[in-house]
Chain A
Amino acid sequence: MPAAEPDETLEAQKARLEEQIRAKERQLQTLKANLLNLDQGIRNGSHAADEYKRYGRQLIMPTMGLQGQLRLKQAKVLVVGVGGLGCPAATYLAGAGVGTLGLMDGDVVELSNLHRQIAHSTDRVGMSKADSAYKSLRALLSYQCLSRLNPLVEYNLHKFHVSPENALAIFNSYDLILDCTDHPTSRYLISDACVLTGKTLVSASALKTEGQLIVLNDPPRPPGDLSGGPCYRCIFPKPPPAESVLSCGEGGILGPVVGTMGVLQALEAIKLLSRPRAEATPESMGNGTSDEPPKASMLMFSAYNNPQFRTARLRSRRSNCAVCSSTPSITKASLDSGSLDYVAFCGVAIPVNILPHSLRLSPTEFAILPNAARGTLIDVRDETQFAICAVPESVNVPWTGNAASWLAHAEEAGVLDDEDSACKYIVCRFGNDSQLAAKAIIDRSGGTTEKVKDIKGGFQSWREEVDPQWPDY
């Protein structure tokens, strides 16, 4: 007990003691509250003090809150494809505190990836994309939680492509799948595997200046249950013809376009994972909570259009869907047995080979022709590629995808005027369109002309055989 001040009255002593007691009581309350928080933290999987700080800005959002954050921490998310979509998606998911993040990709980093695949870097060209992204994400979050043992996010690296043989086993150990791949075959496979393993799928894609985003199989119900969300096959039952499918290498892509779609994927994933489990009806992307079967929505992004964003209401499950209906032809057994051929289903773009041998010549053969014999060189690449690099005196008549319309353009350009005199050589980027264009001219002449030839392998072969300085774009 503190000694009384010499001239302190009894009243004053009493007041001081009372104040001291109140202070101790406040301290006790704080200690009890801290204990309660710690208890709660332990029960909730120990949300460490610095995690409050790290996630504070999203934690105070009513849509997230502590419970939402803890649900993220318990979640396991698989990012299939760590490229233009997967890099930003995985980065935001790791940053947001998803507990387990799977990175699946069988490719290695290439120089042409770097303008958009932001988790990779020049010094990692040739490295596995899963490894490269893992390095970046670890650097971003090089932080150990309170136990000083476990990193905040646990990573699983799957350094191979998704396949019918591995999809079910791998998807089973995750809560949510992100399709960040780049081909129809993987899009159908991933959707099928999500239906069969009961996982919701956040699917995004991008090409040129446009992107698409859909949340599929939400809620994830067994095949035949119409209260489940539709799958990719419900929306797109028929794959596009293989020869019309363009990769980013062929069609081009702007970094921020695919980046936007990857970021939106992470956003949808965060919304799905942080929502209360009881909310069985899909609330993502504005889907209603009525009694009607849930419909998927597609967000379409067109960077050069106005408006840039449009949302279309798509459809509910298809009653005759090959995988999510009550009479599916695609089952776990058919996937496991490897009897499903996704490549055959989507078709293969076979390199064009429609001209007789006599009407084709190699870049080398063309290069050694005397100037007088070179006739007219018609370059059928599009205007943009022609402006990047072109052979002097060649004429640009871009292939239109259709013989009649291309011939009209060629006539306009005057390259068909001297039909019987000078020889015409047709060239393109890879040597496919050039054959189609040559064939169009030959057919127009009734199949008689021998004066139209295609340069085999296009400028790709031109660079390999004749001109190593030719831009390798």
Chain B
Amino acid sequence: MSTPKAPAGHFTILYFAAASSYTRKDHDFLPAPLAFHMLFDVLDQKYPGLREKVLDSSAVTVNLEYVDMEEEVAKKDRADGSLALKEGDEVGIIPPVSSG
């Protein structure tokens, strides 16, 4: 199935592989804007245990570009600040698939 467009004031989050198995969904729409470094907190609240089981070992993309969560968390108190997720953005949670 195709992911519908996010409603106004929201961004799309796509769940791949283990993230999709854990949430039992392939996407969600979350309210924008959201500071990127808050993303894991929001998701772990929505799906308890997701951070430890999935998020901490996943790659994260924003509009198909890799964003490093640790680097963004380190930036949050600095003048340049961390990335903000805005309306219409597409975030991907990409856990490593190791099977084959």
- Check if A and B associate: yes
Give residues in A with beta carbon < 8 Å to B: 81, 83-85, 180-184, 187, 204-208, 210-212, 235-236, 238-241, 244-248, 251, 253, 258, 261, 295, 298, 300, 302, 304-307, 310-315, 400-402, 404-405
In the complex, chain B residues whose CB is within 8 Å of the CB of A187: 96, 98
> Using a CB-CB cutoff of 8 Å, which residues 26-48 of chain B contact chain A?
26, 48
In the complex, chain A residues whose CB is within 8 Å of the CB of B3: 305-306
Q: Is B68's CB under 8 angstroms from A315's CB?
A: yes
Whether a CB of chain A sits under 8 angstroms from the CB of B49 is: yes
B68–chain A nearest beta-carbon distance, Å: 7
Q: Is B98's CB under 8 angstroms from A182's CB?
A: yes
- Could you list 5 further interchain pairs (A-B, Cβ under 8 angstroms) beyond the known A183-B99, A400-B24? A84-B100, A210-B17, A212-B94, A212-B96, A261-B100
Which residue of the partner chain A has the closest CB to B92? A312
Stretch at the interface among B5-13, B55-63, B77-85: B55-63
Which residue of the partner chain A has the closest CB to B20? A210
Q: Is A305's CB under 8 angstroms from B100's CB?
A: no
Give residues in B with beta carbon < 8 Å to A: 1-3, 16-18, 20-22, 24, 26, 48-49, 52-54, 56-57, 59, 61, 64-66, 68, 92, 94-100
Q: Is B49's CB under 8 angstroms from A248's CB?
A: no
Q: Is A312's CB under 8 angstroms from B96's CB?
A: no
Known: A240-B54, A404-B48. Is A315-B66 also a contact (CB below 8 A)? yes
Q: Is B17's CB under 8 angstroms from A238's CB?
A: no
Scoring A81, A85, A401 by chain B CB atoms within 10 A of each residue's CB, the highest score goes to A401
Which residue of the partner chain A has the closest CB to B64? A312
Could you show 6 A-B contacts with beta carbons less than 8 Å apart? A183-B98, A212-B17, A241-B57, A312-B59, A400-B24, A405-B48
A206 vs B95: C-alpha distance when bound (angstroms): 12
In the complex, chain A residues whose CB is within 8 Å of the CB of B64: 310-313
A411 vs B18: C-alpha distance when bound (angstroms): 26
B36–chain A nearest beta-carbon distance, Å: 15
B46–chain A nearest beta-carbon distance, Å: 11
Taking a contact as CB atoms closer than 8 A, the residue among A181, A182, A305 that contacts B1 in the complex is: A305
Known: A310-B64, A315-B68. Is A83-B100 also a contact (CB below 8 A)? yes
A359–chain B nearest beta-carbon distance, Å: 24
In the complex, chain B residues whose CB is within 8 Å of the CB of A84: 100
Known: A304-B1, A306-B1, A312-B66. Is A240-B22 also a contact (CB below 8 A)? no
In the complex, chain A residues whose CB is within 8 Å of the CB of B65: 312-313
A63–chain B nearest beta-carbon distance, Å: 25
Q: Is B98's CB under 8 angstroms from A205's CB?
A: yes
In the complex, chain A residues whose CB is within 8 Å of the CB of B49: 401-402
Q: Is A236's CB under 8 angstroms from B96's CB?
A: yes
A246 vs B18: C-alpha distance when bound (angstroms): 9
In the complex, chain B residues whose CB is within 8 Å of the CB of A311: 64
Which residue of the partner chain B has the closest CB to A346? B98
A298 vs B53: C-alpha distance when bound (angstroms): 22
A245 vs B21: C-alpha distance when bound (angstroms): 11
In the complex, chain A residues whose CB is within 8 Å of the CB of B96: 184, 187, 205, 212, 235-236, 239-240
Leading 5 A-B pairs by shortest Cβ distance:
A306-B2, A207-B99, A240-B57, A205-B97, A85-B100
In the complex, chain B residues whose CB is within 8 Å of the CB of A314: 59, 66
Q: Is B1's CB under 8 angstroms from A206's CB?
A: no
Known: A312-B65, A312-B66. Is A248-B99 also a contact (CB below 8 A)? yes
Q: Is B97's CB under 8 angstroms from A207's CB?
A: yes
Q: Is A244's CB under 8 angstroms from B54's CB?
A: yes
Q: Is B99's CB under 8 angstroms from A251's CB?
A: yes
A205 vs B53: C-alpha distance when bound (angstroms): 19
A81 vs B26: C-alpha distance when bound (angstroms): 30
